[in-house]
Amino acid sequence: DVKVTQSSRYLVKRTGEKVFLECVQDMDHENMFWYRQDPGLGLRLIYFSYDVKMKEKGDIPEGYSVSREKKERFSLILESASTNQTSMYLCAIDGTYEQYFGPGTRLTVT
Amino acid sequence: AQSVTQPDIHITVSEGASLELRCNYSYGATPYLFWYVQSPGQGLQLLLKYFSGDTLVQGIKGFEAEFKRSQSSFNLRKPSVHWSDAAEYFCAVDDSGAGSYQLTFGKGTKLSVIP
């Protein structure tokens, strides 16, 4: 079974803090994705990576950055967290004709 | 730009009743189409996908979907709903034409099931 692990299920941070969300896969897949999920808006792509040290902006990259130093790990970084970044964050990898999702991290910024 | 529309935000059905969730897309070519399900507090799980061939595709948990090019639709159906089907359902379209490289998701339909 494909396994996509996210470092935290729930996270509470203060405004202005630097926040790291980690995603780890065990399947040696090249493509990894970070989505943000908000009620009534569905999933929106923040960033994706198609190889180590490679990244591409998605639909809503503002306020976020990413890091992929190793193939199995893709990090989403909030340089200075704001309350409008309170959301559910989902990591996914691109498998054989489907994307596999992690369980999500629910981030609250106060 | 491609878009996916799920017209129903919330649907409530009785257990044992049939279900149809609607999905319409805008895309020039024949798209790759997906339905995902998200149970409360969980990530997304693939129910089924359409790439080509037979326009009626079977998925897991007794779900099926039909691709209708003339209507730009990919509606999800189940003949008899179970209480465990209560979840949020997302339709998605591949943007890249490469299978599942870049997906555009609809806003989701939340399904409630009355015992």
pLDDT tens sequence across B48-98: 999 888 899 999 999 999 999 999 999 999 999 999 999 999 999 886 665
Does B42 contact A95 at a Cβ distance shorter than 8 Å? no
Structure token digits, residue A56: 């591409």
Contact residues, chain B, for A92 at CB < 8 Å: 44
Q: Which of A20, A100, A89 is nearest to A60 (CA)?
A: A89
Chain B CA closest to residue A106: B41
pLDDT tens sequence across A29-54: 889 999 999 998 999 999 999 889 89
CB atoms within 10 A of CB B80: 11
Q: Which of B44, B41, B52, B55 is nearest to B91 (CA)?
A: B44
Q: How far apart are CA A9 and CA A88, in angstroms?
A: 9
List residues of chain A with CB under 8 Å from any CB of chain B. Answer: 4, 31, 40-45, 48, 90, 92, 94-95, 97-104
Q: Which of B115, B97, B91 is nearest to B3 (CA)?
A: B91
> What pLDDT, on the 0 to 100 scale, is given for residue B54?
87
Contacts of B34 (CB under 8 A, 6+ apart): A98, B46, B48, B49, B50, B91, B92, B93, B94, B100, B103
A16 min Cα distance to partner chain B (Å):
27
pLDDT greater than 90 at residue A106: yes
